[in-house]
Each structure stands twice: as structure tokens, then as C-alpha cells.
Amino acid sequence: MRMIHARPVLVLLFVPCLVLLSWLNVPSFVYSATPEEIGLKIATEARARDDGFGNFTAREVMVLRNKQGQESRRQLRVKVLEVAGDGDKSLTVFDEPRDVKGTALLTHAHKKEADDQWLYLPALKRVKRISSSNKSGSFMGSEFSYEDLSPPEVEKFTYRYLRDEPCGDLTCTVTERFPVDKKSSGYSRQVVWQDKDELRTWKVEYYDRKDEHLKTLTIGKYKQYLDKYWRAGEMNMVNHLTGKSTDLTWTDYQFLTKLKARDFSKTGLKRAR
């Protein structure tokens, strides 16, 4: 009986709090709804802020390290084309190691269905389609999988906002995301740290299928391009299970290039250098 009397009091306290919160400079979704809705909203907003970049190119250098301290380098170039209403198209050209120089990987990402991928093998002068819808395997022997490297499509996950917490000088939202298609992902869930100002991702924790903390990705050296689009300069992936790690350095970001849709076709793939 006491609860009935208490409830109006709570509501009376709660409403002013909400009003107070709305005055603070926080994105409006933080207190608007269920954790699932908040999480989805953060993901949607983050993706929306990247809308309109058109295309860009960049260089990547990967340094792989095993528990033994042994190191190995991979070097690649990526070209990305924004596609309205669908996932991005991307072209990855391998420069190093030398024996795969000129090999190029074309990916047509999709919002819902599985991505399409083709690989051009210069030694064979042929394009081979990669049938597997699974992007969870190791990318070039590194601790990254292709799944980790591609920009996450909002629709491929469900979300749950967990909390806010300081990250460096910033404040981050901490959100969990769960793959919709459990079979094609290597993870049961990921925990993502994004700063509240620019919604850049600073850290991702990957949990394997038995929900054990498998890997941690830390991202840094963000730079803003075209006064709008943030791109990371450094990524580091540590595998807690094997003790192996991979450093990925991004350089030479170029936006507003002359890339066209046909550069991202199967015939364009053969010409990619």
C-alpha cells in the first residue's frame, strides 16, 4: 500500500531531473529510452555523421607480432566508395609481402545480406569470387579479421547502451553490440567505447562465442578531414588468448578523389594497381 503513495513523489522528483538533464550538453538520446534504443541511436547517429564523405583512399601498414616477439609487416592500400542506401564498396590492394603484390580484394558491403567479395590474383590474371559469407577469419595472418576492419553496418547488430565513463580527456558511451547473423560472426558480442562529442570509436572489446574476452582493439590519432569526417591514424589489436598482437597504421588519407563506381566492379578490380 505504501508504494502507491510513494509513486507520485518519485515521479515528481524524476521529471525535474529529466528537465535538468536536457539542459546539459549531452546528446538527447542518452535518457530517452531503453538501453537497446539508446544503443541503436548512438550507432545510427555515428553512422549518419559519416554520411556524405563520397570516397577516400588511404595506406595501411600492419605489423604482426607473436608471443615470441617475432614481427612481420604487411602493406596495403584501400579505396572506399560510399554507396547511397547500401554498404560501402571498397578495394584493397596488397603491396607487401612482395609475393602477393598487386593482389586486390573487392568488397561490396551490404546493409542486411552477406557482403560480396572477389579477389584478383595477378599471378593467375583471374578474378576469383570468395564464396564464404564469413568474414570472421584472420586477415592476412593478423589479429584483425575482415569483420573487424570493415565499418560496421548499423543493421547487422542489435545494441545495448551500458553506461557513460571517462575515456582519456573525453567522456565515452559504452555500448554493447550483438551480431544479428550469429553464424557469420566470430563473436558473441562487442563492447564499444565512443566519445560523446564526435562519436569516434576509441576502444572495442571482442567476446568470443563462449563470451570470453578474446581481443581488445584500441584506436587513436584521430584526424578530421573535410572539417567533418574523422579517421583514425592508429589501431592496435591484442589477442588475449594467444598473446599475439597487430599494429595497424593508417596514412595518406585522401578525400574527394576521382574514384568512380566502375572502379569498384569486377572489371575495375583487374585494373586496380
Partner 1 sequence: MLVMTAGAQYLTVSDDLRIMLSKDNPQLIAFDVLEATYSASNTVLIAIAPRKGSVFSRETLGAIEELTEASWQAPYSSRVDSLTNYNHSRALGDELIVEPLVENARSLSDADLARVEEIALNATELAGRLVSHDGRVSGLAINFVMPEVRDQAVFEVTDYLNAVLNEARASHSDIAYYLTGNVVLNRTLADAVEYDMGVLVPIVFFVIVIGATLLLRSVLGTLAIVFVILFALNTTLGFAGWLGLVLSPTITVMPVVVMVIAIATSVHVITIALANMRRDPDRNAAIAGSLRTNAWPVFLTSVTTAIGFLSLNASDSPPYRELGNLVAFGVLCVLFYSMTLLPAMLSILPLRTRRVRSKGSPLFERFGDFVVARSTFLLWFVALLVVALVTGIPRNEVSDNWTKLFDERYEFRRATDFVIQNLTGVNSLEFSLQAGREGGITDPEYLRHVDSFAEWLRRQPEVTHVQAFPGIMKRLNKNMHGDDPAFYRLPDDPDLAAQYLLLYELSVPFGSDLNDRIDIAKSATRMTVTVTGVSARGLREFDKRAQDWLRANTPDLATEASGMTMIFAYLTQRNIESMLRGTITGMALISFVLIGVFKSLRMGLISLVPNFVPAAMAFGLWGYVVGRVGLAGSIVTVVAFGIIVDDTIYFLSEYLKARREGYAAPEAVRETFRTVGPALCTTTAVLSTGFLVFAFSGYEGSQVLGLMVTITIVFALLADFLLLPPLLMAIDRRKL
Q: What gap in Å lies between CA 172 and CA 158, rounded to an integer?
A: 19
Instruction: Identify residues 227-246 at the interface with partner 1 (CB under 8 A).
Output: 241-244
Q: How far is the CB of 67 from partner 1 (least distance, A)?
A: 4
Q: Is 48 helix (H, G, I), strand (E, B) or coil?
A: helix
Size of the site for partner 1 (CB under 8 A): 47
Is 180 near partner 1 (CB under 8 A)? no
Subset of 99-118 contacting partner 1 (CB under 8 A): 99-100, 103, 105, 117
From 23-31, 119-127, 159-167, 219-227, span contacting partner 1 (CB under 8 A): 119-127
Rounded distance, CA 122 to CA 147, Å? 25
CA–CA gap between residue 57 and residue 52 (Å, rounded) = 15
Stretch 190-219: interaction string toward partner 1, x if CB under 8 A? -------------------xx-x-------
Alpha helices (runs of H) in the chain, residue ranges in sequence order: 2-23, 35-49, 146-149, 266-271
Least distance in angstroms from the C-beta of 132 to partner 1: 5
Does 70 participate in binding partner 1 (rule CB under 8 A)?
Answer: yes
Burial class from Cβ neighbours inside 10 Å (0-12, 13-18, 19+) for residue 101 reads middle
| In the complex, least distance from residue 4 CB atom to partner 1, rounded to whole angstroms | 46
E strand residue ranges, 43-156? 55-65, 71-81, 89-96, 104-108, 116-121, 126-130
Nearest CA to 239 among 213, 209, 271? 213
Cβ 88 to partner 1, closest distance in Å?
Answer: 18
Residue 157 in the binding site for partner 1 (CB under 8 A): no
Q: Does 260 bind partner 1 (CB under 8 A)?
A: no
Under the binding rule (CB under 8 A), the answer on residue 97 touching partner 1 is yes
Decide: 192 and 200 in contact? Cβ < 8 Å. Answer: no
**Pairing between strand 71-81 and 55-65?**
antiparallel
Question: For partner 1, which is the closer residue by CB, 172 or 237?
Answer: 237
**Residues found near partner 1 in the complex (CB under 8 A):** 64-68, 70-72, 94, 97-100, 103, 105, 117, 119, 121-124, 126-132, 134, 136-141, 145-146, 184-186, 209-210, 212, 241-244
